[in-house]
């Protein structure tokens, strides 16, 4: 089985602005914009979800500021990822297994003990986190494939975020 690391530049002010907004128009706008991604999540996890559990319901939960399905934290993580991408752009996707630190998000979602493993970094923390992560040794959450290549890719991700002055999420799944 292979793992993937995904990085996205986003806007950490816009992402939390939707959490608890309780705005039906916003739910409609977001669900229309990321409909295919939500449908793909539902298809992929069809055997795991009950009929009332789906990516759209999780999106509604996030906009309404609640967690109705704590038993499927992974779905909140995947929908969070899609929301971050809606407010930004994917800049990286490769077959690695990075778990660089504890999970974090710009909004209060449950985290899966499995995947996705999410790290959210505000632009004010980018230089500090870059230094911390680039100092990691093989086996400290990085380096399972090709340590030098992974460090080069991690450098690229942080340099892009710093240069563009954007917030960053890194997801492993």
This prediction has a pTM of 0.95
Nearest to 86 by CA among 157, 132, 26: 26
Number of Cβ within 10 Å of residue 105's Cβ equals 22
pLDDT digits (tens, 9 = 90+) for 31-64: 999 999 999 999 999 999 998 999 999 999 999 9
Band the pLDDT of 154: cuts 50, 70, 90: very high
Number of Cβ within 10 Å of residue 163's Cβ equals 9
The three-class DSSP label of residue 105 is coil
Residue 101 has pLDDT above 50, yes or no: yes
Band the pLDDT of 1: cuts 50, 70, 90: very low
């Amino acid at each position: 089985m292979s793992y993937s690391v995904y990085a996205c530049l986003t806007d950490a002010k816009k992402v939390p602005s939707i959490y608890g907004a309780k705005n039906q128009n916003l739910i409609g706008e977001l669900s229309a914009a990321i409909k295919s991604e939500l449908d793909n999540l539902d298809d992929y996890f069809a055997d795991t979800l009950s009929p009332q559990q789906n990516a759209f319901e999780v999106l509604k939960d996030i906009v309404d500021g609640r967690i109705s399905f704590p038993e499927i934290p992974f779905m909140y993580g995947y929908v969070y990822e899609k929301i971050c991408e809606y407010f930004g752009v994917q800049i990286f996707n490769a077959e690695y297994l990075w778990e660089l630190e504890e999970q974090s998000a710009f909004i209060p979602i449950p985290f899966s003990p499995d995947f996705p493993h999410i790290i959210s970094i505000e632009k004010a923390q980018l230089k500090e986190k870059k230094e911390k992560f680039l100092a990691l040794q093989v086996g400290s959450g990085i380096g399972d494939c090709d340590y030098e290549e992974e460090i080069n890719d991690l450098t690229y991700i942080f340099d892009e975020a710093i240069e563009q002055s954007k917030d960053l999420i890194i997801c492993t799944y």
